[in-house]
Amino acid sequence: MTQPFLLSRVLLQFSSKDEDLIGELSAITLTPDGSLWVGSDEFLTLERLSLVEPYVYGQHQPFEISDYIDLFNSDDEIDIEGMDYAEPYLWFTGSHSKKRGKSKGKKPEKDIENLAEIKTDLNRYLIARIPVFQGEPLRSSSHPTDPDRTVAAAMLQKADTGNQLMEVLQTDPHLGPFIEMDIPSKENGLDIEGLAACGDKLFLGLRGPVLRGWAVILEIEVEEAESGILSLKEISKDGAKYRKHFVNLNGLGVRELCLRGEDLIILAGPTMDLEGAMQVFQLKDVLEHSDNTLWDQSADDLELLFDLPFTIGSDHAEGLALIPCLGQPEALLVVYDSPSAARRRQPYTVMADIFRLDP
Q: pLDDT > 70: what percent of the chain? A: 100
pLDDT band at 237 (very low <50, low <70, confident <90, very high): confident
pLDDT band of 16, cuts 50, 70, 90:
confident
The mean pLDDT of 15-32, rounded to a whole number, is: 90
Report pLDDT for 106. Answer: 80
Report all structural domains of the chain as residue ranges with CATH numbers, in order of start: 6-356 (2.115.10)
pLDDT for the residue 343: 94
The arithmetic mean of pLDDT across residues 311-328, rounded, is 93
Instruction: State pTM to two decimals.
Output: 0.96
Q: What is the pLDDT of residue 143?
A: 81
- Give strand ranges (E) for 209-348: 214-226, 229-232, 243-248, 253-260, 263-269, 279-283, 293-295, 302-307, 316-325, 328-337
**Confidence band of 107 (pLDDT split at 50, 70, 90):** confident
For the stretch 109-159, pLDDT in tens is 888 998 999 998 999 999 999 999 999 999 988 887 778 888 999 999 999
Residues 3-12 have a mean pLDDT of 95
* CA–CA distances in Å: residue 84 to residues 8, 129, 132, 314: 22, 9, 12, 25
* Amino acid identity for residue 305 in this structure: L
What is the phi/psi pair of residue 268, to 5°? Answer: -120, 145
Helix (H) or strand (E) holding 144: none
Q: In the predicted model, what is the mean pLDDT of residues 21-49?
A: 93
Please state whether 313 falls in left (phi above 0), alpha (psi between -120 and 50) or beta.
left
Q: How far apart are CA 248 and CA 234, in angstroms?
A: 27
Confidence of residue 359 (pLDDT cuts 50, 70, 90): confident
d(CA 350, CA 14): 9
pLDDT in tens, 248-270: 999 999 999 999 999 999 999 99
Residue type, 192: I
Can you tell me the distance from the alpha carbon of 61 to that of 65, in angstroms, rounded to the nearest whole number? Answer: 13
- Indicate if the pLDDT at residue 1 is higher than 60: no
Question: What is the residue-averaged pLDDT of the chain?
Answer: 93
Instruction: Kindly tell me if the per-residue pLDDT of 161 is higher than 60.
Output: yes
Please report which confidence band the pLDDT of residue 352 belongs to, taking 50, 70 and 90 as the band edges. very high
What average pLDDT does the segment 306-329 reach?
Answer: 92
For residue 157, the 8-state DSSP code is P
Q: How many Cα neighbours within 13 Å face the side chain of 184?
A: 15
Long-range Cβ contact pairs of 323-330 (< 8 A, separation 24 or more): 323/10, 323/30, 323/354, 325/7, 325/8, 325/354, 326/7, 326/8, 328/7, 328/356, 328/357, 330/260, 330/357
CA–CA gap between residue 122 and residue 131 (Å, rounded): 23
Q: Is the pLDDT of residue 90 over 90?
A: yes
pLDDT score for 17: 81
pLDDT at residue 323 tops 80: yes
